[in-house]
Structure 1
Amino acid sequence: MSLALVFDYLVSPTFLRGAMMTLLLTVCSLAFGVLIGLVVALLQESRTRTGQAVTLVYLWLFRGTPVLFQIIFIYNVLPSFGIRLSAFVSAVLALSLNEGAYMAEILRSGLQAVKKGQRVAGLALGLTSFQVMRHVVVPQAARIVLPPIGNQMIGMLKLSALVSVIAVEELLLVANQTASATFRYFEALTAAGIYYLAMTTVFMALQMLLERSLDPKKRQRARNVPLAERLLGITRAPAIR
């Protein structure tokens, strides 16, 4: 093993571009997946037969087939119907549609966790349905759905490696191509693994910050703990009264 070669890979423009492509795929697919999931969740809440039939077929199709199959199908089959998409757009479309099927269930469970009585109370106070959704339902549902959405974000980061099969130059494809040219698989894959761990660590830190900002109790506890103790992870026993 050559640590110098691992460092060279880490700072090389090729690996950096691959990491940026992986990050871009993750963010785009997750954003579109949340939008698709929200639409599907609202259709399920609508209780209409057409909406429930459409969502049932969508969930059955994209939760019942492998992600790799969906990526290859969109990239290779759609052109036969006259729909030609670039490799990047095909990858984002496939990952977003797959992610939307899981996001729909997460968001639906979060919306249903807010009791209907609170919505009725908001309407009784003179709020519109949109204001009730914005000020009453969404803030509470956000605290519920944030942890599973964070897990989905990390999962999406790892699933993005599958798009290498359609020649999207993300991190794993770059590492594999570099290793195939130099036969230094250990160093190339180690560098890729470090990039993946760094990105997942950042996502986990962002998730923790968002959870704390949305939870009033955690915000209050954070204010009462000195900054040095928060950074060092020191916890103090409660005072005995």
Structure 2
Amino acid sequence: MEMFVSQFFNLEIMSQAWPLLLRGLGMTLLLCAAVIPLGLVGGLLIALVCRSQHRAIRWTAFALVDFFRAVPPLVLLIFIYAGLPFAGIRPSPFAAVCIAFFLNTGAYYGEIYRAGIDSIGRGQWEAARSTGLTGLQTLAHVIVPQAVRNVLPDLVSNTVEVVKLTSIASVVALPELLYSADMARSVTYNPSSLVMAAGLYLLLLWPCVRLLSRLEHRVAR
């Protein structure tokens, strides 16, 4: 038991790794602050494009959504970071992660938004248009707010997954939380820093999980 504690819960190593993990946590939060709004806004735009009256535009959007949902985000990230330089584009690790997450999470958010918009009855559209609202105003003030409320638990659930997925940024040497914890482990030859990183992820995501549970109960009622 003493060996187990020394190997995974070594307080001395944790205290030494804490400043490095704190910087990594800051980068993770910065990454979340960038990729989550990108995904939310991009997803809404994708959902609206998928409702285009032009069949070619609509089916092209469907094909791209299916493609980016099917491709693993890790593969997409490596392709963008290591492949784009051959085309003369050299994104920074942070930019590569933002682009990859925008394409992947935007596709998932888009499907969630589209399901929410489809859940609004046609009568809502007609009632809003009968008051003199334009199509864009109807979307912005009547349809989208109701759609978001209907799929809010799914949006929060997907956001939790996005936060967890930020850990793959370590493969392009972006010094986020997991990368920092692994660097500390490689220096100390002790996984206690990884255990502490797992605890920080838990503290970061636990409020979101509880919020998701409350939203699901509210929707169920």
TM bucket by the smaller chain? 0.7 to 0.9
Compute the displacement of 1:206 (Å).
5.3
Give the greater-gyration-radius structure (CA): 1
Instruction: Return the offset for 1:119.
Output: 1.2
The alpha-carbon deviation at position 130 of structure 1 amounts to 3.1
- What residue number does 1:95 align with? 101
Aligned partner letter, 1:64: A
What pairs with 1:167-206 in structure 2 (closer than 5 Å)? 167-185=173-191, 187-205=192-210
Report how far residue 134 of structure 1 moved: 2.8
- 8 Å contact from structure 1 (residues 113, 141) kept in 2: yes
Shift in alpha-carbon separation, 1:64–1:208, aligned structure 2, 3 A: closer
Among candidates 3, 11, 15, match of residue 8 of structure 1: 15
Cα 1:147–1:102 change in 2 (3 A) is same
Contact 2:14 2:193 survives alignment (8 Å): no
Q: 1:3 to 1:40 in 2, by over 3 A?
A: same
How far apart in 2 are the matches of 1:72 and 1:122? 46
8 Å CA contact 1:75–1:87 kept in 2: the answer is: yes
Contact 1:161 1:171 in 2 (8 A): yes
Correspondence for 2:122 among 111, 116, 122:
116
CA contact (8 A) 2:43 2:106 kept: yes
> 1:29-60, CA deviations, whole angstroms, 9 ceiling, x for partnerless residues?
12111222111111111131221232133123
Aligned to 2:136: 130
Moved more, 146-155 or 195-204: 195-204
Q: 2 CA distance for matches of 1:27 and 1:153?
A: 11
Q: CA deviation at 1:182?
A: 0.5
Q: Unpaired runs of 5+ in structure 1? A: 219-241
> Contact conserved, 1:9 with 1:191, CA < 8 A, in 2?
no
User: After TM superposition, which residue ranges in structure 1, 4 or more long, deviate above 4 angstroms?
Assistant: 205-209
Flag structure 2 segments of 5+ consecutive residues without an equivalent. none
Task: Select which of 19, 35, 38 maps to 1:32.
Answer: 38
What CA distance in whole angstroms lies between the structure 1 residues aligned with 2:168 and 2:26?
A: 16
Measured on the aligned residues, the alpha-carbon RMSD in Å equals 2.4
Corresponding residue for residue 229 of structure 1: none
- Work out the number of aligned pairs and report it: 213
Question: 1: CA distance between counterparts of 2:209 and 2:119?
Answer: 24
Q: Which residue of the partner structure matches residue 227 of structure 1?
A: none
Deviation, structure 1 residue 4: 2.7
Distance 1:143 1:104 in 2: 15
Distance 1:17 1:206, change over 3 A: farther
**Alpha-carbon deviation of 1:65?**
1.5
